[in-house]
Structure 1
Amino acid sequence: MNPVIALTHEQRRGAPRLTPEVVPGVHRLEHAFTNCYLLVDGENWTLVDAAFPNTWSPLIRAAHELDLRMRDLQGIVLTHGHFDHVGVAARAVEELGVPVFVHAGDRTLAAHPYRYRREHSPFVYPLLYPRAFVPLISMVRAGALHVRGVEEVSELPGSGMLDLPGRPEVVFTPGHTFGHCGLLLREQETLLTGDALVTLDPYTGIAGAQIVAGAATAHSPLALRSLDAISATGARVLLPGHGEPWLDGAESAVAAARAVGRR
C-alpha cells in the first residue's frame, strides 16, 4: 500500500523541501503543497513544472544542494498552464534564456494562467472542505496571486520522447486542462502525472489518489477518461503535481481515483 507520510510543522505550512532522488535521477522540490521535479542527467537538467513566483530562491538552493548550475537548466516542461505550475517560468526565460514547453492546448493558458475553465467556483470549496485552508493560504504566501504568464513557449507534441535531460515521454492526459500532459520516464518506470492524478487535492485538503476537484478542473468526465492513459503506462511510481509520491503502481492509483470520482 502507499505509505502515509508524517509531515513536520514546516511541511504542513508549505515550506519548501527538497527530496533528492525520489527515483534515480529525479528530485522533488515541494513548495506550498505543489511539486516541481528536477530531472538530472550529468551536469544538465530539466525542470518539470514551475510552481510559484516565490519558488525561485528555493529552486536555486535546490540546484546548489544537488551540485547543479542554473545555467545548465536545459528546459522547463509544463504539464499544464495553471498559475500554480507556471510561477517561475517567465523569470527563467528572461534571466536564463531557458526554453519552456507546453502542449498547444494550454499555450494560451500558460500566457494567462488565471483564465482557465473550471466546473465550479473555487470560493465555496474552503467552506465545504475546511482542510483546504492550509494549502490554499500556503499558495497565496508563495505568490499564487501574482503569477506572470509565459508567452515565449515551444509546443509539446501529443506523444513521443523529448530531447531533454531525463528523456521524458509525453503522455497526453486532457481533462484537468485541455492540453494537460504527463511525462513518462520509462527507465525508472515512473510517470510524472501533473494534476491529471494527484495524491492531495489542494481545493479539498483530502489526501489519496484522485482527480482534482471541479474548482480547478475543466472537464471531470474527460479527466476520468484520461486515467486510462495513466494506467496504460504501467508505471511503478507516480509523481503528482500535488501530494506525496504514489509507490503502489499506476493501476492501483487509477482504481482509487475512479472510486473517488469527481468532487
Structure 2
Amino acid sequence: MTSPIQVADGVHLATGTDVNWLLLQDGDALTVIDTGYPGDADRLDASVRALGREPGDVAAVLVTHAHVDHVGSIERWWQEHGVPVLVHEDELANVRGERHESATPLDVARRAWRPRTALWAARITRAGGTAHVTAPHAQTWTGEGPLDLPGRPVPVHTPGHTSGHTAFLLADAGVLVTGDAIVTAHATTSRRGPQQLPGFFAADPTLAARSLERFRDLDADTIAPGHGPVWQGRPTDAVDHALAPQR
C-alpha cells in the first residue's frame, strides 16, 4: 500500500479503494476518522503501523457517516481491540443498522452504462461494497467544542448526505476533514477540485448543499476529503467551487 501522507503536523491521510481515512497522532495515541471498505482492513491496519503504532493504540474511530466505504472495519476493530466508535447523534440509527440512507445497488445499476461508474462499481464490489456493516455499540459524543481525543477534532454537523453526516475541524493544524460533504474527485466523474458527490449518493441533496454554508467561516487552509486528493485553500473557496454550476 501507499504510506499515509502527512497533511499537517500530526495529521495523516491514507487511501484505500477510492476512499480516504485520516489518522490524527498525538504522541503514542491516535484518532482515526473513517475506516474505508471492509476489503481495506489490511490497508487500514498498515496505515496505523506506518506511523509506528498498533490498532490497539487508537483512542477512538470517528465516523463522518455510516456508508460502507467509511465504516468497513469498525466492527472488526471493536471485536479485536475494543476501539470505541463515535458518531453524531443523528447518525446513530444509520451506523446501528436501524435506518438506511445510502445509494442502493439499483441506483448504481441504473448508471452502470457509464464506463467510469461500471469500473468503480466492480472495484468497490470486490472491496466489500455490498456488505451491510453495522456497529450496534457505537456511541455519540457529548458537549460542544473540541473532543478530548488526539488531534482535538471539532465536529461540524453537515446533514444531507446522511442525517448525521459530520465534518471535523482540526483547528490547531488548520485542516478541515470534510468526509463526503465536499470531495475533490470521485471515480464516477471526470471533474476535479472541490465538488459535491452526484446527487443519488445523498439522502437529501438540497440539504447537503445548504449545509456547506457551515464551512464558510471556519479557519483552515487545507481540505482533507473523503474522496480525492488534499486541496489547499480556504473552506469558503472550496464551498464556492463545490456549488458552482458544472460546465
Same fold by TM (over 0.5)?
yes
* Residue 42 of structure 1 pairs with residue 27 of structure 2: yes
- Corresponding position of 2:197: 212
Identity %: 33
- Cα shift at 1:220: 1.1
- Cα shift at 1:184: 0.3
Give 1:1-263 correspondences, 5 Å limit.
Answer: 16-112=1-97, 115-116=100-101, 121-127=107-113, 129-157=114-142, 159-204=144-189, 206-260=191-245
Deviates more, 1:173-182 or 1:137-146: 137-146
- Corresponding position of 1:4: none
- Cα shift at 1:144: 1.3
Q: Which amino acid aligns with 2:43?
A: P
Q: Label 1:158 to 1:117 Cα distance change in 2 as closer, same or farther (>3 A).
A: farther
Deviates more, 1:21-30 or 1:73-82: 21-30
Q: Which amino acid aligns with 1:126?
A: A
Residues 57-80 of structure 1, C-alpha deviations (whole Å, 9 max, x = no match): 112222222111222111000001
Q: Is the 8 A contact 1:172 1:181 kept in 2?
A: yes
Alignment RMSD (CA, Å): 2.1
Deviates more, 1:85-94 or 1:193-202: 193-202
Q: Label 1:93 to 1:205 Cα distance change in 2 as closer, same or farther (>3 A).
A: farther
Deviates more, 1:189-198 or 1:153-162: 153-162
Give me the whole-angstrom Cα distance separating, in 1, the residues matched to 2:195 and 2:155: 21
Q: Label 1:199 to 1:126 Cα distance change in 2 as closer, same or farther (>3 A).
A: farther
Give me the whole-angstrom Cα distance separating, in 2, the residues matched to 1:138 and 1:114: 25
Q: Which amino acid aligns with 2:112?
A: P
Scaled by the length of structure 1, the TM-score of the pair is 0.86
Structure with greater strand share of residues: 1
Give me the whole-angstrom Cα distance separating, in 2, the residues matched to 1:138 and 1:157: 37
SS at match of 1:21: strand
Report the number of matched residues.
245
Give me the whole-angstrom Cα distance separating, in 2, the residues matched to 1:111 and 1:143: 18
Give me the whole-angstrom Cα distance separating, in 1, the residues matched to 2:158 and 2:69: 18
Consecutive unaligned residues of structure 1, counting only runs of 5 or more, are: 1-15
Q: Label 1:155 to 1:205 Cα distance change in 2 as closer, same or farther (>3 A).
A: farther
Q: Which amino acid aligns with 2:210?
A: R
Q: Label 1:113 to 1:78 Cα distance change in 2 as closer, same or farther (>3 A).
A: farther
Q: Is the 8 A contact 1:49 1:76 kept in 2?
A: yes
- Cα shift at 1:182: 0.4
SS at match of 1:37: strand
Consecutive unaligned residues of structure 2, counting only runs of 5 or more, are: none
Q: Which amino acid aligns with 2:206?
A: P
Give me the whole-angstrom Cα distance separating, in 1, the residues matched to 2:121 and 2:217: 32
SS at match of 1:27: strand
SS at match of 2:111: helix
